[in-house]
Amino acid sequence: MTTVVTENCQRCRFTDCVTVCPVDCFHGDDEMLYIDPEVCIDCGACVPECPVQAIFEEADIPDGMEKWVEINAEKAANLPVVNEQTDPLPTAEARKTELGF
């Protein structure tokens, strides 16, 4: 079991999630965030923080999004930790509206 960030984070990167992570398990690139499954403790604190519901516990991942488990593990291993909130991407508000949140 782990918790994963999925495609809704792309073009958003709100980073609300990182402020409540008890173990600094978020990593990021310019596009989105990823969770390091080796560090995440599955507490679920980040899940309700995401304004666009990009984060899922593995057991609750919607059909078709399973690939994100592997992507999170691979990307997180090679990217820096993000543990402080930063400004969302300039496209974030438009994307949020587009996603219906």
Partner 1 sequence: MSDGLGSEGNPLKVLIVGSGPSGFYAADALLKADTTVEVDILDRLPTPFGLVRAGVAPDHAKIKSATKAYDKISDNPNVSFLGNVTFGRDVSLAEIQATHHAVIFTCGAESDRRLGIPGEDLAGSHTATEFVYWYNGHPDYRDHVFDLSQEVAVIIGQGNVAADVCRILAKTVDELKNTDIAEHALDALSQSKIRDIHMIGRRGPAQAKFTHAELKEFGELADCDPVIDPAILDLNAASQAELEDKTNRSAIKNIETLTAFSQRPAGSKSRRLHFRFLEGPTELKGGEHLAAVTLMKNRLEGEAFNQWAEETGETVDLPCGLLFRSIGYRGVPVPDIPFDDKKGVFPNKEGRITNDGSVLPGVYCAGWIKRGPSGIIGTNRPDSVETVGSLLADLSGLDASQKPGGAGLRTLLEGKGVRVVSYEDWQKIDAAEIAKGEAKGKPREKFTRINDMLAALS
Place of tokens 């949140």: 101
The residue range among 7-15, 27-35, 54-62, 67-75 that interacts with partner 1, by the rule CB under 8 A, is: 54-62
53 binds partner 1 (CB under 8 A): yes
Residue given tokens 């499954």 in the structure block: 37
Choose the stretch contacting partner 1; rule: CB under 8 A; options: 5-13, 37-45, 64-72, 88-96: 37-45
Minimum CB–partner distance for residue 27 and partner 1 (Å): 15
| Residue 81 contacts partner 1 per CB under 8 A | no
Residues 63 and 51: their CA atoms lie apart, in Å, by 21
CB atoms within 10 A of CB 5: 26
Three-state secondary-structure class, residue 56: strand
Total chain residues near partner 1 (CB under 8 A) = 21
